[in-house]
Amino acid sequence: MKKIITLLVLLFAFQMNAQCWQKISAGSSHTLGLKADGTLWAWGHNDTGQLGIGNTNNKSIPTRVGTGTNWVYVSASYDTSFAIKADGTLWGWGENTFYRIGDGTPTNRTAPVQIGTATNWLSVDSKNHTVAIKTDGTLWAWGFNSTGQLGNGTSSNDIYVTTPVQVGTDTNWSAACAGSDATIALKNNGTLWACGDNDYGQLGNGLSGNNNLGNPLVLVLTQIGTATDWQKISLGNTHNLAVKTNGTLWAWGKNDIGQLGDGTTSLKNIPTQIGTGTDWNKVSATSSHSLAVKTDGTLWAWGNNNYGQIGDGTTVNKTTPTQIGTATNWSETFSRGQLSVAIKTDGSFYGWGYNSYGQLGDATTAHKNTPTAIACPVTLSSEDFSDLTSFSVYPNPANDFISIKNDSNLSIEFISIIDLTGKKVFEQKGNISSINVQQLESGLYIIQITSEGKSHLSKFIKG
């Protein structure tokens, strides 16, 4: 009876689909997801331990990180991950060459390690260096400082800041973003500040070009313009997106693939308004494309589209904001690399674009050029899942047909196949030994076999 109840609960969880994701963050080739129950999940590339699961094995489906249920914030970087717990502690793991984790060592970490002992961390963002905000409004930075991106008045290729160090003494910082070699930060008075490298005008100070030719590095945070109505910011590798309190969208920095969205491929070295709309809400600048959500819940993207990361069904670059689908319930998007991820207001999670390491989370390594739903399973990562059944399927993955192995020689009443949205895509009665799955899309599926009044579950991947 206990096994039957467990099976039914698992089945119900799959049929509820993905409506449990709370926060998401995509790095260059891995993804982090935070569920509403406070559990932390990761998938994708794991060569430096960036998934935090204690090894360096890639995962193409959401895999739980530890056993904690008190995670409240996640941030995926290139190959590094950060998260904050409900108690305000900061944790990091993954690649640590430039001391970007901040634990005082250059050692890669395959599981979360606590950064210091502070219990008032609010947000964190990282690339080769890391910046973070505490609840008291102070700004902290550590890691690589080759171009003055830490804002401490110095720059060096050889000297790293190995643990969090406060930047200045101000206590009114509300947000901070790390670029490849620059930092952008926002104060709660609506002013915008920047420091670091400015080769592509990403500091927004009217300069750009090689720093050895009259464009000096900015070694301390310096205000961008005089505006006091900046509300939200996002810094990609070398381009910035920002939204003002009046809902206008602004961009500056590198623009070789149209990532600024102004219809050109010319860099901008000062904040430049994109279009005339006044209904922009949230923005995310990635390596070379941009994502945004409007106040009406529509999703927009532009820039590089070589892997379908724009999500419009093509691989054609876009130099102006392009609406993705017709849905009006998108709530948030965040990405670092060439994969795009976004959450809807119902808690469902979607990903698209670059997927060579399974960072999309759909059990495949195929790129996607439209938003693909990623389920929020209870035990998709469990190696024990296949042990719950007297049946098994092979080959797995399968391209054309799957065969049913009936170990106990039980009578099969009917078989159903369920996709990760909870939709039943196949059902047939009788003793079946083989199923044609050629018509199914690539991804992970649950096969439910009903025998002698009991349900048996297994999983298989359609290649």
Residue 305 domain-assigned? Answer: yes
- Calpha distance 359→63 (Å, rounded): 11
* 333, two tokens: 């998007």
User: Among all chains, which residue has been given the structure tokens 């002992």?
Assistant: 117
Supply the CATH number for residue 295's domain.
Answer: 2.130.10.30
Q: Are residues 277 and 148 in the same domain?
A: yes
In this predicted structure, what is the pLDDT of residue 380? 39
- Calpha distance 248→47 (Å, rounded): 40
Residue type for position 401: F
Q: Are residues 349 and 417 in the same domain?
A: no
Q: Are residues 123 and 239 in the same domain?
A: yes
Query: Is 160 or 446 the better-scoring residue by pLDDT?
Result: 160
In this predicted structure, what is the pLDDT of residue 420? 66
Residues contacting residue 221 through CB under 8 Å, at least 6 positions apart: 139, 151, 167, 168, 183, 185, 193, 194, 195
- Provide the domain limits for residue 433: 382-462
Q: Are residues 308 and 448 in the same domain?
A: no
Asked whether the predicted pLDDT for residue 388 surpasses 50, the reply is no
DSSP structure class, residue 240: E
- Calpha distance 228→277 (Å, rounded): 19
* 255, two tokens: 């623009």
pTM (two decimals): 0.85
Residue 244 domain-assigned? Answer: yes
Burial class (CB in 10 A: 0-12, 13-18, 19+), 372: buried
Q: Are residues 356 and 390 in the same domain?
A: no
User: Among all chains, which residue has been given the structure tokens 């101000």?
Assistant: 170
Residues 6-43 pLDDT 10s: 333 343 344 344 468 999 999 999 999 999 899 999 99
Asked whether the predicted pLDDT for residue 143 surpasses 80, the reply is yes
In this predicted structure, what is the pLDDT of residue 204? 97
Residue 384 CA to its chain's centroid (Å): 27
Residue 123 domain-assigned? Answer: yes
In this predicted structure, what is the pLDDT of residue 459? 80
Residue 9 domain-assigned? Answer: no
Residues 288-343 pLDDT 10s: 999 999 999 999 999 999 999 999 999 999 999 999 999 999 999 989 899 999 99
Residues 67-91 pLDDT 10s: 999 999 999 998 999 999 999 999 9
Q: Are residues 261 and 238 in the same domain?
A: yes
Judge whether 48 and 95 are in contact, CB under 8 Å.
yes
Judge whether 288 and 304 are in contact, CB under 8 Å.
yes
